[in-house]
Amino acid sequence: MLPLTVIGLTLVVFVLTRVMPGDLATLIVYDSGARFTKPPEVAVAEVRQQLGLDKPIVVQYGIWLARLARGDLGFSYWQQQPVARLVAERIPRSMELTLVSIVIAFLVGIGLGTVSALYRNSWIDHLSRLLAVSGISVPLFVTSVGILWLLVRFFAWMPPLDYASPWENPWENLQQVIWPALALAIYISAPVMRLARTQLLEVLREDYIRTARAKGLAERVVVMRHALRNSLIPVLTFLGWWAARIFGGVVIVEVVFAVPGMGRGLLQAVSARDYPLIQGYILALGLAVVLTNFLVDLSYRWLDPRVRHG
């Protein structure tokens, strides 16, 4: 399935970039002043020919796919650099942000969900559910701007503007990544918490939990080893299902917190209608979604013995 999914992805990415309104050739003509030496329509036609945009979309797709098969993602029209280099430069930043977000989201979401399920209908359950509903209801850009506003308003501080690699300057990198990761984590942890709570409540009613308790196992062992582990399967499925949304959220937090990752790069590429770069970024993000789902599928084997032995 994986190769078919990737080919389908390339087709969607290619067609989407070509059908969106706004034309790169027109932008180049108006930005380079070519309309001053010749009629705009002539200049636009010439640029389209130079860039190969005058060929039928199917032919353009075929050429792009053939290059892609050789590992060549093309050349950025505006940045005058290989797309592969630009994407490779930004992938680690977005991946770091995403991973930190997911770790925070799962720690908080599963933690709150577990506490909520164990203390059902208590004040902590009500509070956790209220937080979850808020996390789902408030748009990510509002959460992001809100966090930035709080930092600025009450601490007269904002994350550093210059990006520092975690290998070169881990402290500065943490200062920059933690806040957008927190915003994204709030967005992810709310549904995780609700799902974890529901699943745990269901699992706690299962016969094998009753058996474990009847055998005299400590409640902590029953919950942590038997109940929680089984309730995590749907939560992980959710991660695969939500991966596209999470990577979409990365675009928003990277813009607000000025993190120079793929999301911010994608937005810039879309504004400039830099087709090869848009394709490169979306393809990388799409592959990340596919890979996440693949890893989720693999993780079932570890979490669920029925899959492992089935």
Partner 1 sequence: MTPTPIPPRATPVLTPTPVGEKPQYGGIVNYHDYTDPVQIDPHATTVIGDLQMSMGVLSSIIKYDPRNPFYIAPDLAERWEQSADGKVFTFFLRKNVVWHDGTPFTARDVKVSIERVLGIWDPAFSAPRCGSLLKPLVDKMEVVDDYTVRFHLKFATPLFIPSIASSWCKIASASALERYKNLSRPESLIGTGPFALKRYERGVVFEWEKNRRYFEEGLPYLDGVRHYILPDVATQLAGLRTGRLHIAPNFPGLTPSQAQQVVSARGKEVVAYRWTVNNMVGTQLNTRVAPFNDIEMRRAIHLALNRQEVVEKIFEGIGFPCTVLDPVAYGDYALPMEEVLRLPGCRPDKTADWAEARRIVQQKYPGGLELEVLVRRTLDFVPTAELVTAQLQALGIRARLQVLEPAAGLQRYGRGEFTIIGTQSTSPSIPDPSAMFTESWVPGGALNFTGWEDKTFMAMHEDAIRALDVRQRQRIVQEMQRYLLTKDMAWLVLGWRERYFIWDVRVKGFVPGPSIYEDKTFTTVWLSP
Q: Which residues are at the interface with partner 1 (CB under 8 A)?
A: 21-24, 26-27, 29-37, 40-41, 44, 78-80, 86, 145, 148-149, 151-152, 156-158, 160-163, 255-258, 260, 264-265, 268, 271-273
CA distance 143 to 239: 20
Based on CB atoms, which residue is closest to partner 1, 80 or 137? 80
CB 184 within 8 A of CB 253: yes
Report which DSSP code applies to 35: G
CB of 11 to partner 1, least distance (A): 23
CB of 131 to partner 1, least distance (A): 24
**First-to-last C-alpha distance (Å) of the chain:** 20
b/e per residue, 63-95, with b = 16+ CB within 10 A? ebeeebeeeebbbbbbbeebbeebbeebbebbb
Based on CB atoms, which residue is closest to partner 1, 196 or 259? 259
Based on CB atoms, which residue is closest to partner 1, 2 or 152? 152
CB 176 within 8 A of CB 96: no
CB of 275 to partner 1, least distance (A): 12
Report which DSSP code applies to 55: S
Based on CB atoms, which residue is closest to partner 1, 4 or 161? 161
Based on CB atoms, which residue is closest to partner 1, 175 or 237? 175
CB of 163 to partner 1, least distance (A): 6
Based on CB atoms, which residue is closest to partner 1, 42 or 66? 42
CB 175 within 8 A of CB 257: no
Give the type of residue at 138: V
Strand partners, 75: 82
CB of 46 to partner 1, least distance (A): 9
CB of 40 to partner 1, least distance (A): 5
